[in-house]
Amino acid sequence: MRLRRKHKSPPVLSHEFIIQNHVDVVSCLVMSLLMGVVFEATTKNAIIFVAVQYNVTYTIDDSNEQFHFYDYGPKDIATIFFYMLIAINLHAVIQENILDKINRRLHLSKTKHSKFNESGHLAFFSLFSFIWGSSILNAEEFAMDLTSLWTEYPHCRMLFQVKFFYICQIAYWLHALPELYFQKIQKEDIPRQLCYICLYIIHISGAYILNFQRLGLILMVPHYLVEFIFHASTCLFYFSDENKQKGIGCLATVCLTQAWMMWKFINFQLKKYREHVNNQIPKKKITNTKKKRTNQEPNRENCVNGAAKVEGEASPRIRKSKPV
């Protein structure tokens, strides 16, 4: 009988060791920061990583009612770092418990395996961000009152859920950078992924720092809905079906949905245009028709020697002039 060879564990701090054990290392960092909040000696330092900072409280004298708002500052870097570690752990949970099980059943090639994982993670995150962002818009009614986007600008004060949403967004896209290394992404795919990851980080961070939080939130919600539809239908079903039947079917559904929405939009615009045209045309004044005069002036053509012809009657005789 042949003895099974034992797989040698990679050397400590080597590339393989970091890739295989990065989730455990990150989990230890998260637990150590959470434990730091428990003890009084380290609470002041550890709370910066866990809790949202820069709380500003306003109190109304008449009712003693307090309103809590949040600002941004350099301490947010520590909070973003902590939630970036949380995102790495969640990335590993989704990969091991959902995507890897699907990959084993599909037997995809290495290229499709990598793209399937990428689309799977983005589909989960897009759906989560869309639901969370929609709940914030519904609660704050930013989309209902568009004048709130520019009135009283700059909006230096944020509500808790708005600030926490932005911190989690920045943390997620920052965690995608080390994931390129942890997931062993192929070299030809790195520039493409690195491009859109950096674009997300720049635009979301810019909206957060430049006090465009409301505008950024309104733009991100429909964008994440489109991203979810794209990755869930076009990518996931495409890579899971070798005959491309499901992918073509989903593409046809998306196209028909877009055509129906365009048809509704065109009809709505035409209706508004007709109403606008009708409002521009002055209304004709309704005048009562006057009765015809009984004694109308006869036409000259029907007059002979100063006497008017009568319809159905003979014309009057012409008088002969008497000789003098």
Contact 94/120 with Cβ under 8 angstroms? Answer: yes
Distance CA 179, CA 319 (A): 122
The average pLDDT across 8-28 equals 80
Bond prior to 10 in cis (omega within 30° of 0): no
Contact 48/78 with Cβ under 8 angstroms? Answer: yes
**pLDDT exceeds 80 at position 120:** yes
Tens of pLDDT along 51-88?
998 888 877 666 677 778 888 889 999 999 999 999 99
> Which range is most confident: 18-27, 109-118, 283-292, 312-321?
18-27
| Angle (nearest 5°) at CA 135 between 130 and 140 | 125
| Angle (nearest 5°) at CA 13 between 9 and 17 | 40
**pLDDT exceeds 90 at position 110:** no
Compute the chain's Rg from CA coordinates. Answer: 39
Contact 52/70 with Cβ under 8 angstroms? Answer: yes
Distance CA 173, CA 91 (A): 12
- The secondary structure of 269-304 as a DSSP string is HHHHHHHHHHHHSPPPPP-PPPPPPSSPPPPGGGEE
Look at residue 101 in the predicted model and tell me its pLDDT: 86
**pLDDT exceeds 90 at position 215:** no
| Least confident stretch, 143-157, 251-265, 307-321 | 307-321
3-state secondary structure of 307: strand
